[in-house]
Structure 1
Amino acid sequence: MRTRLAIRIHAAMERVFPERRVFLKSDTDTRFIRLRPVTQLFIGAGASAVVAWAIIATAVLLMDSIGSGNFREQAKRDQDMYQERLNALSLERDARAEEALAAQQRFNAALSQISIMQSDLLASETHRRELETGIEVIQSTLRDTMSDRETARTELAALQAEQAAPGSSQNATTASPAPINFMAEALAQTAKERDQIQENARHALQRAIDLELDLKLKEEQNDQIFRQLEEAMTISVAPLDKMFRTAGMPTDKIIEQVRRGYSGQGGPLTPLSFTTRGEDEPTVDELRANRILSQMDLLNMYRIAAERAPFASPVKAAVRYTSGFGFRRDPKTGGRRMHNGSDFAGPAGTDILATADGVVSHAGWQSGYGRLVKIKHDFGIETFYAHNSRIRVKKGQRVSRGDHIADMGSTGRVTGTHLHYEVRVNGSPVNPMIYIKAASNVFEEQDKRARFQDVR
């Protein structure tokens, strides 16, 4: 049965693939190769498979080439756009930093002016109290003088009555001229002194009125300065608080940690004293001044915390933002892989800067990262600066924001010269652009508020 089936299959194959012979002729001999139907079938199937594979592979390559070309163009456009935005943010950040420094200088000048005005207020109040005391003395003297004058008038009237009595005319003729002349001179002197005292009192009252006006003017100027300082504190503290909250950092815990770290530099703020009256209850000006001092202390805590957190860009030169935080296509293997930082491409040797104050925890080679610098900051934050061509710091060295710590290079697992920048909080990587954009947005908001204040 099997033999018949095989014969039928062989006959069918003979009709499709008849047996062929390939002759090979030489000068001395002639040979041939016999191609059976089965052999021809395998050769045809193999050739068809090769052609089909070639067609499919060519189509796949063409489609991948077209798709990758579009992807590269789109990626290049996105990179150019990100680079322009990053450069603009860097320029705006520098400008806002300069404006913040100028605002701090203006604030210090205003604080000095408040101190001078406080001294003037104390001096004017002391002078006013002295004038009030002098007026009281003058009024007392005037009352005594007027009392003496009335007594002298009464005595004069009594003498005149004695002179007018009958039987005493002779004695009055001989004894009255001297007392009368003395009393007249005393009355004239008393009237003159009274007029002088009244004139002095009038001048003293006018001086007191002038001092009251000056005091009110000083108080109005002081109130205006207080309002300006309160507005400046509100404008300065609120954006910094927003910057920390945008970066996901709890401001209450951060400020408390900074305050504990600086607890050895002084005690609590003492209230300002604006008067010498010795009152137990603080005045309105003292309360306002203490609120401003509290806000100044909070602003200083925020400033210290901002210096110790990476609210800055690791490069200030013109660079290109080439890759962000998150999953991406691996440039080496082509597979999908998590990218724990941000990449900034630029010329070899570009200065790499520390983004916050801290201590260098690693400065050397690490597999994949190449030449790597790690800096530990406060609040559990650590920053990575990878693929450097040269490292300019040592392990254990303390650095400040803006210090030159390395040069951009292409060491480690890279495809070109760039900086790989990471931010890790308690060991977990976070998007570095959160910190860079948070600081940039704060500077933009401060600039808008400053322009609004200028216009108003």
Structure 2
Amino acid sequence: MRNQPSFARSGSAPSVSPAARCAGIRPALFYTMFAGLLVANALTATGFLLAPDISRLYNGQTEQVIEAYEDRIAQLRVEVDRLHSRSFAQAGDINLQLQELSQQQEVLVEQHQLVQVLVDKAGELGIDTAALPSVAPSDDLAEGRPTVSSGNDNIDATAQALDQMMGETQTAMTAISEAATARTNGIVSELSGIGIAVDLPAGDMDGMGGPLLPPQDGQPDQPLVDDANAVMTALIRYKAARDTLNGAPVHMPLSGQFRQSSGFGNRTDPFSGGRAFHAGLDFAAPNGSLVSAAADGVVTFVGTMSGYGNVVEVTHASGLVTRYGHLSGFLSTVGQAVRTGTPIAKVGSTGRSTGPHLHFEVRRNNAAIDPSNFLKAGKRLLALLG
């Protein structure tokens, strides 16, 4: 009976079987490897991949399972490293694209500023152009936030928006150049038809030079500069044509209520009833109506002339002289510089006249020429220039 307890004590050690020991180790090993999978950011995929191995682990194939886990963990690490490398490469490409977009936007800002100067100049000359697209500061792109006026955040959309705006600035310049050229040609054509030459600048605004060197790779072309210079040349030519037009007596000297009562050339004289030459156009209008200068010029005569009554004469830059007769009063003095539309006198019926009207003449080399050709040209030019 005494040996029985010692047998019990000695037999107590083998009471924990090897299977029980393995059962105590297996959960720790499992959770350790599971935590490693969490670090690798592949918990779900790895769980699916390792499901057969877990089953084999419970079947007692411990060493084979551990080796399989180590192999798979190594493979996962390689895959993660590869993905990280790809991500870094993509980030590098994105940064490069952002830098390119930033540089492109800076160029666009410069182009926009240059074109805006041309638009303002065209506006001063009466050429209306559409508003240019706005450009966001290039700092937004440099900081990795590609932003343009369209509000696109996607790089491809941003690049497309930049290309679109560059196209719009080019379209704006083309529109300005075409409008200025068309108006210049119209002015030259009309004024040439009435004997007024337009002095347009030729090549004095196109000075360039430098040694002849071969082109270099990587150096930017200057199409915008060339286009901008072409537009500026067109505007300069248009301004010269406009200056000539301002001095051409093609504008009606009356406004309000009036009618043409007599034309230029031979007519039946209202006093004698016989045939007589009429040196200008008569416009019947209420007494006291304002008479305006038909073009820019200088008043060279204020007084009376036989048959004309009260007269004002204006000499223009083209050498032409406009004469305004039968006036009831003067609103200008000799030597006064006047602009088109400046009031210079009032309608009357002085001199050889049957009633209130304005006698309007255009004279070249002290000889009267038909004013109707000038006024008709003025109407066509008004339609052209708006």
- Tell me the TM-score normalized by structure 2: 0.56
SS at match of 1:333: coil
Unaligned runs of 5+ in 2: 1-80, 102-154, 209-215
1:400 matched residue in structure 2:
339
2:261 matched residue in structure 1:
322
CA distance in 1, matches of 2:235, 2:166: 22
Of the candidates 166, 183, 187, which is equivalent to residue 240 of structure 1? 187
Of the candidates 69, 89, 93, which is equivalent to residue 198 of structure 1? 89
Of the candidates 327, 344, 351, which is equivalent to residue 388 of structure 1? 327
**What aligned pairs does 1:296-335 form with structure 2 within 5 A after superposition?**
296-335=235-274
CA distance in 2, matches of 1:429, 1:279: 66
Q: What do residues 120-150 of structure 1 show as CA deviations (whole Å, max 9, x unaligned)?
A: xxxxxxxxxxxxxxxxxxxxxxxxxxxxxxx
Of the candidates 197, 219, 223, which is equivalent to residue 170 of structure 2? 223
CA distance in 1, matches of 2:194, 2:301: 25
CA distance in 2, matches of 1:269, 1:406: 45
Residues 1:283 and 2:222 are matched in the alignment? yes
Given that residues 391 and 407 in structure 1 are in contact (C-alpha distance below 8 angstroms), is that contact kept between their aligned partners in structure 2? yes
Deviation at 1:287, TM superposition (A): 2.3
Deviation at 1:363, TM superposition (A): 0.5
Given that residues 255 and 305 in structure 1 are in contact (C-alpha distance below 8 angstroms), is that contact kept between their aligned partners in structure 2? no
Given that residues 235 and 446 in structure 1 are in contact (C-alpha distance below 8 angstroms), is that contact kept between their aligned partners in structure 2? no
CA distance in 2, matches of 1:397, 1:224: 44
CA-based RMSD of the aligned residues comes to 3.4
Q: What do residues 213-242 of structure 1 show as CA deviations (whole Å, max 9, x unaligned)?
A: 454333322232233223322332232222
CA distance in 2, matches of 1:294, 1:280: 26
Of the candidates 342, 363, 370, which is equivalent to residue 281 of structure 2? 342
Q: What do residues 221-272 of structure 1 show as CA deviations (whole Å, max 9, x unaligned)?
A: 2232233223322332232222212322223xx446xx9xxxxxxx94789x
SS at match of 1:216: helix
**What aligned pairs does 1:71-82 form with structure 2 within 5 A after superposition?**
none
SS at match of 1:309: coil
1:228 to 1:199, Cα distance in 2 relative to 1, 3 A: same
Deviation at 1:290, TM superposition (A): 1.6
CA distance in 2, matches of 1:214, 1:370: 69
Letter in 1 for 2:377: A
**What aligned pairs does 1:45-444 form with structure 2 within 5 A after superposition?**
197-207=88-98, 208=100, 210=155, 213-251=160-198, 254-255=199-200, 268=205, 283-444=222-383
Count of aligned pairs: 245
CA distance in 2, matches of 1:317, 1:291: 42
Q: What do residues 293-346 of structure 1 show as CA deviations (whole Å, max 9, x unaligned)?
A: 111011111111111111101101211211111111222222322111100111
CA distance in 1, matches of 2:223, 2:82: 48
Q: Which protein has the larger Cα radius of gyration, Structure 1 or Structure 2?
A: 1
CA distance in 1, matches of 2:218, 2:190: 42
- Tell me the TM-score normalized by structure 1: 0.48
SS at match of 1:416: coil
Given that residues 239 and 446 in structure 1 are in contact (C-alpha distance below 8 angstroms), is that contact kept between their aligned partners in structure 2? no
Deviation at 1:280, TM superposition (A): 9.2
1:279 to 1:328, Cα distance in 2 relative to 1, 3 A: farther
CA distance in 2, matches of 1:338, 1:305: 31
Letter in 1 for 2:239: N
Unaligned runs of 5+ in 1: 1-189, 260-266, 272-276, 448-456
Which has the bigger relative contact order, CA under 8 A and spacing at least 6? Answer: 1
SS at match of 1:407: strand
Deviation at 1:427, TM superposition (A): 1.9
Given that residues 302 and 313 in structure 2 are in contact (C-alpha distance below 8 angstroms), is that contact kept between their aligned partners in structure 1? yes
SS at match of 1:386: strand
Deviation at 1:362, TM superposition (A): 0.7
Structure 1 stretch displaced more, 407-416 or 238-247: 238-247
Letter in 2 for 1:318: Q
Deviation at 1:392, TM superposition (A): 1.3
CA distance in 2, matches of 1:305, 1:439: 13
CA distance in 2, matches of 1:322, 1:308: 26
SS at match of 1:439: helix
Given that residues 299 and 334 in structure 2 are in contact (C-alpha distance below 8 angstroms), is that contact kept between their aligned partners in structure 1? yes
Deviation at 1:197, TM superposition (A): 4.8
CA distance in 2, matches of 1:414, 1:206: 82
CA distance in 1, matches of 2:268, 2:221: 66
Given that residues 344 and 419 in structure 1 are in contact (C-alpha distance below 8 angstroms), is that contact kept between their aligned partners in structure 2? yes
Which structure: greater helix fraction?
A: 1
CA distance in 2, matches of 1:424, 1:279: 63
SS at match of 2:333: coil
Letter in 2 for 1:224: T
Letter in 2 for 1:217: Q
Deviation at 1:396, TM superposition (A): 1.2
Given that residues 311 and 439 in structure 1 are in contact (C-alpha distance below 8 angstroms), is that contact kept between their aligned partners in structure 2? yes
